[in-house]
Structure 1
Amino acid sequence: MAVTPTAVSSAGGAAMHGTAGSTSYRPALTLLASLFFMWGFITVINGTLLPHLRSVFELSYFQAALIESVWFIAYFVASIPSAKLIERIGYQRSLVTGLLVMAAGALGMILAASLPSYGITLLMLFVIASGITLLQVAANPYVAVIGPSETASSRLNLVQAMNSAGTMLAPLFGAYLILGRSKGGTASAGTVLTPAERLADAQSVMLPYALVAGVLIVLAIVIARFPLPAMGAATSRLAKEERRGHSLWRHRNLVWGIPAIFIYLIAEIGVGNLFVNFVSRPDIGNMTNEQAGRYLTLLWGGMMVGRFVGSAIMQKVDAGLVLAVFSVGAFVTMAVTVVASGPVAMWALIAVGLFHSIMFPTIFTLGIKGLGPLTEEGSGLLIMAIAGGALVAVQGWLADAYGLQESFILTAICELYILFYALWGSKPVVSGAPAAR
């Protein structure tokens, strides 16, 4: 996958770091952090949007989870076209394009709400996610290689903390402006809405998405006018003859890292999407969807805290070891969620956010470690693996068939694969010998 502005070969990473002495990348990284914030914010709005749409359209758990599946299918569909677009128009214009695509999707959500239409809602969410994919394909590998490879996981965790700040604030935004302004969001569990109430509830999303679209357009204007540093020739894709003899599939850390990202997204998105429905149950939190949406803030807040803490720890401790410890913690909290009830089960599900915090950025940086001239293709494959979030529909099916609480067994199994990757799969090995570090 050719992503010229974000090609991250070892030489390219060294070149960019060396240039930092004369060119400060701090303003650029600060601006990129705002992008991490926005796509985290918009993604997690779905956590409050799903129970809302489930009420409006009278959806099953599977149909509600399908909304999130469409969102993450966009990562698989749009990743390669995004890479080609970046190669054609450049890094900065691609960032602006991604933001404008997201804004168009947000405006389309207003149209979907005015009808209301389940089909148009799915289409507009796909458009928004496609814009986010374009941003992700460029920003994640850029941050990973802007400094020394030894602290890549620490650096990406630090910037991803801004993503978590967005995810922490989004539930409050959604709970107040979506669930708090709708009949379904403030009614007790099991309340049946009239057709007029469902129509009014559908239209309650118009203001939130109008605000989101406005912020995205402003951010696009700022980035278009911002003097982002040129990445230079050292970060361009290497010629084919220079890459001859290299193979992505000889790098164990990448081969096992792709399914690790895929599987981790099933766990993270499943927890976020079913959180409100789970916590609002009479035998768990016994509260309205609006109240449960406020507790969702604690889940994502734990992810933000975990990333700040993890970033500091990984300055001194091996990233693979930290990932292993966090995956064990995630497994234990999910096991408690499955077998407990009442506040214990609720707080166990909230706590998993802390343990999920470092997983994506750490798996990503471990996955591209030692790839050298193949890093750009490896980065693209890892971004495509975010499509694993589409399989949250499987957990929705399990919830319909066996029970919502029992469906979290799938999440616990996912944590065990992350433990396997941390202890063995993440070790860079090529043809039986350690890869270049």
Structure 2
Amino acid sequence: MQKIDNPDRKDWKDVLKRPTQTVSDIEATVNTIFEEVKVNGDLALKKYTQKFDGINLEDFLVTASEIEEANTLVSEELKSAIQLAKSNIETFHSAQKTDRVTVETSKGVQCWQEKRPIQKIGLYIPGGTAPLFSTILMLAVPAAIAGCKEIVLCSPPDSEGRINPAILYTANLCGVTRIFKVGGIQAIAGMTFGTERIPQVYKIFGPGNQFVTVAKQIATKHGVAIDMPAGPSELLVVADDTANTAFVASDLLSQAEHGTDSQVILVSTSRQLIHAVEKEVEVQLNALPRKDIAEKAMANSKLIRVKDDVMAIDLINAYGPEHYIVCVENEDFYIENICNAGSVFIGNYTPESAGDYASGTNHTLPTNGYAKQYSGVNLDSFMKSMTFQKLSKEGIMNIGNAIEVMAEAEGLQAHKNAVTLRLNSLE
């Protein structure tokens, strides 16, 4: 990890730079694959599954027998843990339901807003070295609560053409309607355009590597919405001498092991704490099965000392972390003044892992600074707000003249006529 002591504000942009490629670096590759999938459908999916996953599949659809087999391969202990997490996630997201909003804006002018589910959604679930079955809980559970009719899931197959049993078990448990063995850019393209096998969806959710992130952004150019530009995972911890050094180091490493392009940052006013955490990271790192991955991520990561709390919170807001852990004596200051963060974890006994798995909050969060303008996934992510209005005779008489005047001022005579005809009929 790189140690930086009291950086000048003018240097913050460079200090806080993420280890990510730009869209332009990847866009040409994404566009090529998108065009092939659009034209050739499943043939293109087969081609790129062979190229990137090393397996030639005749059919991408996961069968009922494969799901049944997966159920027998997942331990009862893991099933129980998944079900506990599912229950907490259901509880938290169900509490986000809102009632219809109704108001009479003028006498006889009734307006209301209702939320309706997005009918067709697509979930992308990374496989590979870390099959993120927990992400299915975070996406399929609120989708089911929202009432989405079609929930399609894509996840890359392994070298034997299988998907991790925990992914299949969790998807089935959470009401996913169809599961496909397709990963990467080609999966996003398949859900964007639809193929012979994969249905086209209206909105795509889920994290992935930088190629998947750019593919989702390109999907928006083809009329498909996305949850957010969620890319490589990141975490920022603010800590002082009251923090448990071992806890802080474990939190940093928990995100570093996600992938080589992950980034973790420690911000502190204490040189002593930074030194202690640096030593503890080395101790814990050597014991990790994913040491090689975490080690590369730690090379992208920073230990930053700042002079005071005000400087610290300004730097944190400038970064806009996906995950933000607060382990300081003056925690109220850091909680009240945070403006840009995906999800906040408070105190020595609140690891980021809690939000990743089982506390109930959603772990699909904005990365790469998008916490400055995006929310994490929540129940509303799977719904649309629709407005309704009904005018009585009294209502059109009360606001009709204002509409006529405004329409005429904009030069839109047909708009004015639509009101004038109604008003004349009431004379």
Query: So what's the TM-score if we normalise by structure 1?
Result: 0.23
Relative contact order: is structure 1 or structure 2 higher (C-alpha 8 Å, sep ≥ 6)?
1
Query: So what's the TM-score if we normalise by structure 2?
Result: 0.23
